[in-house]
Structure 1
Amino acid sequence: MEPVQQRAVIVGVQLQNGNNFSYSMEELRNLAAACDLQVVGELSQKSSRINPSHYIGTGKIQELAMLMESADATVIIFNDELSPSQIRNLEASLDRQVIDRTILILNIFAERAKTKEAQLQVEVAQLQYMLPRLAGMRESLGRQGGGAGLKNRGAGETKLELDRRRIEERITALQLELQNQVARRQIQRKQRHKNEVPVVCLVGYTNTGKSSLMNTLVETYHPGSDKGVFAKDMLFATLETSVRSIELPDHKTFLLTDTVGFVSQLPHHLVKAFRSTLEEVTEADLLIHVADISDPQVKQHMAVTEETLKALGADGIPTFYAYNKADLTELPYPVVEENSVTLSAKHKIGVAELVGLIRKHVFNDYIQCEILVPFERGSVVSYFNEHADVQSVSYEEQGTRLKLECRIADYERFKDDFIEMPQ
């Protein structure tokens, strides 16, 4: 039998200086759906400030109680991070399970985390969130009954029953384990820098099609390689950084990195826990900001991504824009502009144009040249056949003449082996 979905009411406060309130509430609905919660009602309040004791005013508390009763809802979801005292007061007043936007996102991350590192990062974030809220949350555990949704999810009941000291010890142990994972990734990154392979990083809001774009690029340039990444039309399908090597037909290679998607009000616990994963972004040579052009909120999504990149210290990295999902709009595609491509990753249209933009930016250390290599230095010819774009080969009395495009560094490395040609 399918579990019965828990019924929830969402609650938000629209501050006088707040923008995009209706969008934020719509996103909260999507986050609730991703947690398998059925939103059956909504309550909002306009106010100059958040009520420090109950988040909303006392009049609204009564209104909310009536709404919960009439909608037969068991869960209340608040559109901000609640303080421990707010959770306690709300649960005492309403006798219902109270959760906030932060724990909702943490639960989604906990369910989606597949790799060891992502699981460690999520658990650290959950425990750090729960630590100051233990007292209030213990009371609410009695209300966590059957049904889908937040039933014993993530860090769960047993961890909440640990005393504060044991939770702190657990956080310390997890962070040590994470440091080892981070050290491993730093070694890998150093190796890439040593090999001087350019790194291109896909960034953007959650569910804009970053993983689908990566899969399309992998399939285009390495058909049948089975190196695709998980891609699905849902929030936070990707929680781990995936790196794939893309080798173009002319032997130019770049590394393509897929990253966790951003969302507005991404909990600071998560940003902190995932900082090591997101470091990939800060060390990229080029960012591809993937946006879902079919989404009416695309401008807000792009603004959130730009704010998050700024917070990570990655706002100075050169960026191109991939306006994806054009097949869901009336817009013409592919359309190439100076720093953007309108495309459809799903239909593989516009991908070659995007690679053209990437190519111009990351392969600017190449030169066109003609070289003459003595026959006894056949290993040099082999190297250029493998690592350069050899356009023509001819054999002369003194050696092999190659017309090619290669990296300046490779040219400098072997130039003492070349026979000087008359000008």
Structure 2
Amino acid sequence: MDVIDILVTKRDGGELGPEQIDWVIDAYTRGAVAEEQMAALNMAIVWRGMSRAEVARWTDAMLRSGERLDFSDLPRPTTDKHSTGGVGDKITLPLTPTVAACGAAVPQLSGRGLGHTGGTLDKLEAIPGWRAELSPEEMRERLLDVGAVVCAAGAGLAPADRKLYALRDVTGTVESVPLIASSIMSKKLAEGTGALVLDVKVGSGAFMKDTASAGELARTMVDIGNDNGVRTVALLTAMDAPLGRRVGNALEVAEALEVLAGGGPDDVVELTVTLAREMLTAAGPTGGKDPADALRDGSAMDAWRRMIAAQGGDPDAPLPEAAESRPILAPESGTLTRLDAHAVGVAAWRLGAGRARKEDPVSPGAGVTLHAKPGEQVRTGRPLFTLHTDDPERFDRAAEALAGAYEINGEYDPLPLVIDRVG
């Protein structure tokens, strides 16, 4: 194979053959294809796109670059959820134990936050003692004992994707449906789940800003999953405003605990139950209860406590709190008609809840509390937001991010929480 021929084929709009894709992914992973050559191929894919056959083979080649876990021998059916990311999206926290309480096993490989979107592992690491790094054997033990595990992907899973993602991040080639879909699906297929539900976010706080592009991504990923023998469906869900009322690591854990205790914000509860039902349906017969019942009767909370303890966490330990807080007050009374999710995410990031680079630390107690959501009434001089940080010098920059993030008494036309279903 000649990498230049592959570059020119895609540059000119041609379709790459299976052998070409297999070779270039393997050669790049081994270091035989240079970074600048792979960057050029990525850019050609951004501009020229890929056929369904190309995307399927690209995903398969990345999947075959490492190990693939297999939990098919477990006594419970396996099912998982993947979100494309948003602001206040703590759904994995209540969802995973809820599904486990209903009879399925959930092998959830999660990531860390970068920029304005939070990461599930960062949130769980706010719990004293909890650890993200587990071996495949430890994952299996916890799936047998608890029925749920949330952990970091090991180095042996889809190493080609890890290398490609880092390259795309610094070469302006992230924005490509084929590359996004194959990246997500190579990791999710590697974790060995039997069924997968995709939560594709739409709106200002999401990667996909409109339903058309989100629908294209959802359909591509559903096709990849089903082509690989994993029962896959996708929901398009709203991310024009943050989910829930708390944004930040320990803040979101606290809100997830409210949901598991039978309370919590309506949107977080609704999405948790909706996704759980989809996951259980995709998994097949479990003989378990309905997710809403698991939240009401305490069995989801029991599963949470076992899940946290099984990974070294103390479910009774107090969560970290930021050293400083500051309110931002409403300038007028009326109906809050807009609350920009992206701006809220940026504010939380500037307060210390997120990171600009993968190696940056995060402040577990930092973030934003929302005192009103779109459609609710606000009053002059009463708090709209409370900012939380360990470093008071961060307040002004966070407040700048929120200055244009909301509107009072404007037009109110929100997205429905669940916009569409694909699959």
Same fold (TM over 0.5): no
Q: Which has the larger radius of gyration?
A: 1
Q: Which has the higher strand share?
A: 1
Task: Give the TM-score of the pair, scaled to structure 1.
Answer: 0.30
